[in-house]
Amino acid sequence: MSTTARAAALRSRTATADPIELEARHGAHNYHPLPVVISRGEGVWLFDTEGRRYLDMMSAYSAVSFGHGHPVLVKALTEQAQRLAITSRAFHTDRLGAFLEALTRATGMDRALPMNSGAEAVETAIKAARKWAYKVKSVPEGRARILVAEGNFAGRTTTIVGFSSEAQYRDGFGPFAPGFASVPFGDAAALEAAITPETAAFIVEPIQGEAGIVVPPAGYLRAVREICTRHNVLMICDEVQTGLGRTGAMLACDHEGVKPDGLTLGKALGGGLLPVSAFLARADVMAQFTPGDHGSTFGGNPLAAAVGLAALQTLENEHLAERAQREGAHLVASLRALRHPAITDIRGKGLLVGVQIDPAFASARAVCEALMAEGVLTKDTHHTVVRLAPPLVIERAQVDQAVAALGRVLERLSQRTITPEPALH
């Protein structure tokens, strides 16, 4: 068979094959998606291959905070792609400086180092913290320790999973890098007790997303800030999921008026179009990087810079943090009004909300599958929590639609739970 004939046969098989079956046959089985095949997105809506419409209540873990195909961001992407997409950082470009200026101005941080994924931003933060500890704090070489919070999720690189408290994330992937220790999330006293002269930094999510939308006690971040300052320890906030308006403020740490020494951003920074992340820090921390210390072929490329700049401008121009605060408060109030016994807790800030489901009633996965049949898409976490974290452009009526769908699902599952088995004759 000729090359042309083989290519035609491949196209024919691909066009008629079941996409789910193709994934299962040719891909790694490292995800367990809901049984839906998405082919298009528009705003807060997703459409499957049959044309059915779904309300996106997950927004790709905040990566689609601006909605699918936001016209301003698509315009920035396409115009920049036609001009210049990538050169690597071997040369200056006319896009990067403006992006970095907007990013530092929006966050109040001194300097930014662009990367691609959120995990890369966290890895960059780890390198910066260690070198700062050796060169500035005078920790003996090779002895720097970084504290993290139990229940953390910062990505899936080998360094990061090495300090995870989730057994599955670690199983089979060791040996792991030393120099990390965990303290209970939300417990400032435990943090202070764990600090030694060799402690370089404390990396913490202001709200833990993957752990189940876990909000720490009021005043926790302020206490962490005071402790880190007093002990000369870097406070690094991982805001890859919570940053850029998601919780009703530019940064989740803004709710307590806290300014960290280092900050990681990602997901929403790419406007739902491509991976863009960054590590930001005060000047003396970032100054530890010299040419050759760190880099990325794609980090800070002009396409990413153009989209990231447009994303920051759109966040401000459309007042999306304020919308998240307003619609998030309505979402939580509406969920509480359901008063369904299967819901044991509702927690979060802004449009980052977790609904805890009593496992004796149903798994959160079962609730998500039932929501899919109602035209609402989201994903569970830890088998017991349904995430409700839609694009920040969501309207009030769409929030109400999602809550009403959850109410119907819980009622239907309740009836299934209490329906007796048919008698045997």
Q: Which fold has domain 26-62+320-418?
A: Aspartate Aminotransferase, domain 1 (3.90.1150)
The predicted pLDDT at position 421 comes to: 39
Q: What's the one-letter identity of residue 257?
A: G
What is the Cα gyration radius of the chain?
23
**C-alpha span between 370 and 373 (Å, rounded):** 5
Q: Exposed, middle or buried: residue 312 (CB in 10 Å: 0-12, 13-18, 19+)? A: buried
| 8 Å CB contact between 409 and 374 | yes
Those residues with Cβ within 8 angstroms of residue 102's Cβ, 6 or more apart along the chain or in another chain? 308, 309, 312, 313
The predicted pLDDT at position 14 comes to: 56
| 8 Å CB contact between 279 and 295 | no
Q: For each successive 10 residues of the chain (425 residues), what is the average pLDDT? A: 60 72 94 96 98 98 98 98 96 98 98 98 98 98 98 96 94 96 98 98 97 97 98 98 98 98 98 98 98 96 98 98 98 98 98 97 97 97 95 98 98 72 38
**C-alpha span between 196 and 299 (Å, rounded):** 34
Domain with CATH 3.90.1150.10 in the chain: 26-62+320-418
**C-alpha span between 328 and 150 (Å, rounded):** 26
Domain with CATH 3.40.640.10 in the chain: 71-317
Query: Of 57, 66, 58, whose CA–CA distance to 245 is shortest?
Result: 66
Residue ranges of the alpha helices (H) in 89-174? 96-107, 118-135, 158-162, 167-170
The predicted pLDDT at position 3 comes to: 62
Q: Which fold has domain 71-317?
A: Aspartate Aminotransferase; domain 2 (3.40.640)
Report residue 38: phi and psi, to 5°: -90, 135
Give the residue numbers annotated as catalytic, written as ranges. Answer: 153, 238, 267
